[in-house]
């Protein structure tokens, strides 16, 4: 069902009892585990932070509730066909998004995410960001570009492909003028770039660069602002305006901070607003947090100690609307006050318990939506070769049980309903959530879904019986006389005879026939 846009605050007594229970859970965790990673049963991130004395002033997610008692809308979708809007809520209080409601409302057309609701009592909802001094008005993210699983349910994250962003100017309760705050987001280390700026956090009211220290936001990407950076990223950095900081010196002072490329990443920043900030990251599917920096505010120039935050909230762009970045967002919160390490650890434990991106909910190795599969060539020369992506190109490579985990993952694909026609299929990268197999100039690539009608058509393939009597052949949705073919180990859309070398009729029927196989990476 669709949730209503109105959210009723908890009665004071209920909030007090909830906070007391959560506080007891944290205390027990600290006494028994030593690290404070345990949490009260049923406590979600904002319950945990609230019980530790650092209440959430913003709580955004398209995948789940961030308070155990929350039962309002998570986000709003806007339909292309008629401009209609609907709120997407939860399957139950404190639970997961009702993605089926989005699917029903958007059936036969496309939708963008027009609002991401704040679950906190502050109502700091995020709207599509208008123009700023560094970029024109943004578009909303396509609502169906990032299907994942959470808690065993199909849900949708938010996939940013450049020129997309959300904002709430002059937000209520968010830190200003040197006040302390903390924030985290769950993002992806496989959908990133080196463009400014994939941020979540505190930004300027004016959508302009108003000076050093006027931002306090998590940045996640591969842009190395202050060299040297260790490894190739992506890194959790602090966007404090006019710099992405990995330390007080700007550049990385932690040789072990080489980046976090996990499919799901917890990125965390906290700042007392005066003389201290810290960054952390972790695998959002397992394990704990790693402290990447903890120390003084930046000393590269003046303005950062104390900070001068303005109290707006930004998602997906820089404070001045620098909007060339790509990225993924599943959930995030901002707090009033500096969270404790014990609370951070307990929140990470809760995030891991969600099971983001778990096993496909349907039988693997089939063309059913939600299945994970690998596509094996049936040409006599090449029956050990599978379609995989390599440096964004679709190629075929020999894959076996002895292959590396990377090669196995790159040759595994999640079947999605066709982005342009639901009775056909699209193939989402197993290793790169939100990236799909699509053609451009008749060659196939792995690229992030940008929501455009062209991309949807280019990434949609309609299965037919294999042209050589084996397996399945896949016709292009927008070029129905062309089929997915391997030729000289590169993957193309090929006709049976034509002007291009890859259209050669020799072995065409074999080269366009694929065995739908169990995935090398489930």
Catalytic annotation, residues: 241, 320
CA distance 273 to 165: 25
CA distance 291 to 149: 27
Coil/strand/helix, residue 39? coil
Task: For residue 327, list its beta bridge partners.
Answer: 160
CB 186 within 8 A of CB 262: no
CA distance 457 to 452: 9
Instruction: Give just the sign of the alpha carbon dihedral 255, 265, 346, 338.
Output: positive
130: Cβ contacts below 8 Å, ≥ 6 apart: 137, 138, 167, 207
CA distance 271 to 206: 22
CA distance 427 to 460: 8
CB 22 within 8 A of CB 51: yes
CA distance 472 to 509: 11
Strand order in the sheet with 277-283: 56-61, 331-336, 181-187, 265-271, 277-283, 289-295
CB 167 within 8 A of CB 122: no
DSSP, res 72: S
Measured N-to-C along each axis, helices 341-354 and 12-33 cross at an angle, to the nearest 10 degrees, of: 100
Strand order in the sheet with 75-79: 85-88, 75-79, 111-116, 126-128, 166-168, 312-315, 199-203, 216-221, 235-239, 244-245
Distance of CA 48 to the CA centre of its chain: 23
CA distance 44 to 41: 9
SS3 per-residue string spanning 381-396: HHCCEEEEEECCEEEE
Tokens representing 216?
């306090």
Instruction: Give just the sign of the alpha carbon dihedral 495, 498, 500, 504.
Output: positive
Q: How many CB atoms lie within 10 A of CB 423?
A: 9
Cα torsion 211, 212, 218, 221 to 10°: value is: 90
Tokens representing 262?
């996990």
2: Cβ contacts below 8 Å, ≥ 6 apart: 73, 86, 87, 88, 89, 98, 101, 105
């Amino acid at each position: 069902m669709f949730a209503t846009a109105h959210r009723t605050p908890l009665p004071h007594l209920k909030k007090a009892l909830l906070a007391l229970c959560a506080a007891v859970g944290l205390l027990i965790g600290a006494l028994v585990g030593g690290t404070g990673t345990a949490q009260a049963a049923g406590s979600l991130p904002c319950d945990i932070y609230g019980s530790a004395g650092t209440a959430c002033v913003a709580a955004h997610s398209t995948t789940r509730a961030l308070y155990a008692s929350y039962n309002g809308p998570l986000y709003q979708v806007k339909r292309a066909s008629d401009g209609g809007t609907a709120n997407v809520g939860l399957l139950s209080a404190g639970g997961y998004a009702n993605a089926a409601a989005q699917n029903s409302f958007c059936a036969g057309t496309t939708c963008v995410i027009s609002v991401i609701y704040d679950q906190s009592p502050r109502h700091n909802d995020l709207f599509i960001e208008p123009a700023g001094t560094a970029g024109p008005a943004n578009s909303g993210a396509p609502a169906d570009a990032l299907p994942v699983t959470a808690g065993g349910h199909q849900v949708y994250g938010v996939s940013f492909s450049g020129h997309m962003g959300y904002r709430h100017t002059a937000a209520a309760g968010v830190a200003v003028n040197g006040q302390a705050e903390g924030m985290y987001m769950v993002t992806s280390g496989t959908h990133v770039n080196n463009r400014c700026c994939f941020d979540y956090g505190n930004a300027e009211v004016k959508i302009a660069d108003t000076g050093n220290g006027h931002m306090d936001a998590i940045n996640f990407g591969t842009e190395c602002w202050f060299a040297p950076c260790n490894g190739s990223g992506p890194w959790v950095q602090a966007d404090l305006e006019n710099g992405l900081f990995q330390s007080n010196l700007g550049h990385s002072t932690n040789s072990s901070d080489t980046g976090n490329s996990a499919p799901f990443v917890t990125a965390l920043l906290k700042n007392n607003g005066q003389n201290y900030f810290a960054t952390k990251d972790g695998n959002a599917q397992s394990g704990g947090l790693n402290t990447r920096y903890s120390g003084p505010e930046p000393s590269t120039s003046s303005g950062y100690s104390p900070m001068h935050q303005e109290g707006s909230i930004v998602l997906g762009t820089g404070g001045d609307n620098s909007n060339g970045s790509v990225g993924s967002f599943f959930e995030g919160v901002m707090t009033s006050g500096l969270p404790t390490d014990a609370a951070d650890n307990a929140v990470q434990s809760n995030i891991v318990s969600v099971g983001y991106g778990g096993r496909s909910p349907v039988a693997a190795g089939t063309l059913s939506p939600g299945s994970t599969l690998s596509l094996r060539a049936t040409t006599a020369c090449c029956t050990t070769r599978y379609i995989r992506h390599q440096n964004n190109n679709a190629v075929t490579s020999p894959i076996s049980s002895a292959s590396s985990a990377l090669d196995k993952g790159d040759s595994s694909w999640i079947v999605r309903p066709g982005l342009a026609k639901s009775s056909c299929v699209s193939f989402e990268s197993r290793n790169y959530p939100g990236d799909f197999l699509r053609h451009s100039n008749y060659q196939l690539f792995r690229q992030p879904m940008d929501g455009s009608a062209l991309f949807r058509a280019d990434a949609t393939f309609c299965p037919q019986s294999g042209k050589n009597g084996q397996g399945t052949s896949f016709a292009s949705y927008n070029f129905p006389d062309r089929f997915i073919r391997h030729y000289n180990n590169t993957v193309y859309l090929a006709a049976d005879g034509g002007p291009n070398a890859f259209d050669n009729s020799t072995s065409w029927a074999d080269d366009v026939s694929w065995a739908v196989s169990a995935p090398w990476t489930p």
